[in-house]
Amino acid sequence: MKGNEYSETRIYAGRLHYGSDILSSLTRFVKDKGIKGGQVQAIGAVQRAVVGFYDQTALKYNSLVFDKPLEILSVIGNISMKEGEPFIHAHITLSDEEGRSFGGHLMEGTIVFAGEYMIREFQGKELVRAYDDQTGLALWDIS
């Protein structure tokens, strides 16, 4: 197991706009701020959600669409570089009106009802994603 050491430089707190796409909005923010590494968190509610589940046999994401209001219990993810651009890899946990929870990989198409986010920017060796033959995923290239 390998790892790099990082220090936290800036922390951002903000609000996600009603009707916006969570992943697109967060990605645009980190690109605008020039954030190349860090952590992202969010809470709130969505009008609609799209989550992914990675099929480890087929080596591809399958999408699940929830076209109804849901609470965001947690969005947790990281920021690194992929193909020369800041990239957010995040997971989302949601709950329905009966308190049942479910989630997966946060995908575009998850639309905000209300939301608040925290982004922590890290300083240190750049985290870069590279294709991993074994999993079919773009994983951190830690050397």
Q: pLDDT (tens digit, 9 = 90+) per residue, 45-100?
A: 999 999 999 999 999 999 999 999 999 999 999 999 999 999 999 999 999 999 99
pLDDT value at residue 105: 98
pLDDT value at residue 4: 87
* Residues forming a β-bridge with 119: 12, 40
Instruction: Delineate the domains of the chain, giving CATH numbers in brackets.
Output: 8-140 (3.30.1330.80)
- 143, pLDDT greater than 80: no
Q: Which two tokens stand for residue 126?
A: 């750049």
Q: What is the pTM of this model?
A: 0.94
pLDDT value at residue 1: 84
- Which residues lie below 8 Å from residue 120, measured CB to CB, with a gap of 6+? 8, 10, 11, 38, 39, 40
